[in-house]
Structure formats: structure tokens, C-alpha cells
A = this chain, B = another copy of it.
């Protein structure tokens, strides 16, 4: 399990409340890791009682108070342990691939709309990533010594960009195949 670790990394990058973490998981981090607020609150509670994170009550005006979490020494140690422990190259779950193979036993043409929707979603994500890259990773080049955090965030973002581009190309391939099957029969 690694939701704990994803939270640790996010809190090391910037301390924040459960609510803020949930929003980060919806946006940036959420593209390679997702979690709902219910899940996050539960895990934060466990992490706190395990001494991985510290809490600080932050009173706010015109807003409910929030609990700001930050990483404690034990949390850093836990992250260190996890980083030095091998993980399995993840086996993905591509629902869409199952649907495509399933379409052989149904109407392939009926899938076109669905694939189009996915294509649109990936187009949007790609645009979102590229905007983020332009915002955060252009301008003042490599400081010396280089900022490791910045470099590493950038390489992860480049991964997201490569993934979306690959998906778009593949979805075009899928659409061409579906159209071909719909045409000649």
C-alpha cells in the first residue's frame, strides 16, 4: 500500500489539511494517484496515531478551522524505508481494453462514442499538463547545484505528458479500427 507514502511526499512538498490534500489528489497528484477525502481523513488519523505526522490547529476567519498536517521524523523514516524497498512494476487495469475486446461479441460501432469521450478526456489532460509545464518549468534554467525536487517533479510531469500522447495516438488507432469494422460488414 502506498497512499500513506503519497501523502507523506505531498506533505513534504507542502504541509496542508486533509481537505487540501484531497484537492491536490484531484488535481496534480491525482493524475498518477487518486484518493477521496474519506480515504484521506482515515489514513491521516492512522498516520497521526503512528507518529508519522504532526497536527497543528489553524484558526481561520470566515472559514472553518483546519488541521494542518506536517511530516514528523518517524514519517520521514517510514518514507526512507519504503523508498529503499522494491515494488512490483505495476499491472494496470485498462477497462477500455476489456470493452474493446468485448465489442467483438456485441456491436463494435456502438463503442465509437465511448472511445471518443475518452479521447477528449486525454486531450484535456494533455493540455492541462502542458499548461503546468509552461507555468512551472520554463524560464530560469538549471541552477547550480540543480534543484532536485524541481527536476524530479518535472520528469514525472514529462511522464504524464508522454502517457497522454501515447494514449491519444492509440485511441486514434482504435477509432480507425472501429470505423473500418463498422464500414465493411
- A interface, CB within 8 angstroms of B: 2, 5-6, 8-9, 12-13, 30-34, 76, 79-80, 82-84, 86-87, 89-106, 108, 110-111, 114, 117-118, 121-122, 144-146, 148-149, 151-153, 155-156, 158-159, 162-163, 165-166, 169-170, 173-174, 177, 180-181, 184-185
Contact check, A152 vs B177: say whether CB atoms are below 8 A apart: yes
Contacts A90-B95, A96-B87, A121-B89 given; indicate if A152 touches B9 (C-beta within 8 A).
no
Across the interface, A122 reaches (CB within 8 A) one of B13, B84, B89, B111, namely B89
| A145 vs chain B, min Cβ distance (A) | 5
User: Main secondary structure on chain A at its contact with chain B?
Assistant: helix
Which residues of chain B are near A5, meaning CB under 8 Å? 98-99, 102
Across the interface, A33 reaches (CB within 8 A) one of B94, B104, B153, B181, namely B94
Contact check, B144 vs A91: say whether CB atoms are below 8 A apart: no
| A45 vs chain B, min Cβ distance (A) | 21
Which residues of chain B are near A6, meaning CB under 8 Å? 98
Interchain CA distance A7-B12 in the complex, whole Å: 42
Across the interface, A102 reaches (CB within 8 A) one of B9, B93, B100, B118, namely B9
Interchain CA distance A117-B156 in the complex, whole Å: 18
Interchain CA distance A158-B111 in the complex, whole Å: 18
Contact check, B185 vs A101: say whether CB atoms are below 8 A apart: no
Contact check, B98 vs A32: say whether CB atoms are below 8 A apart: yes
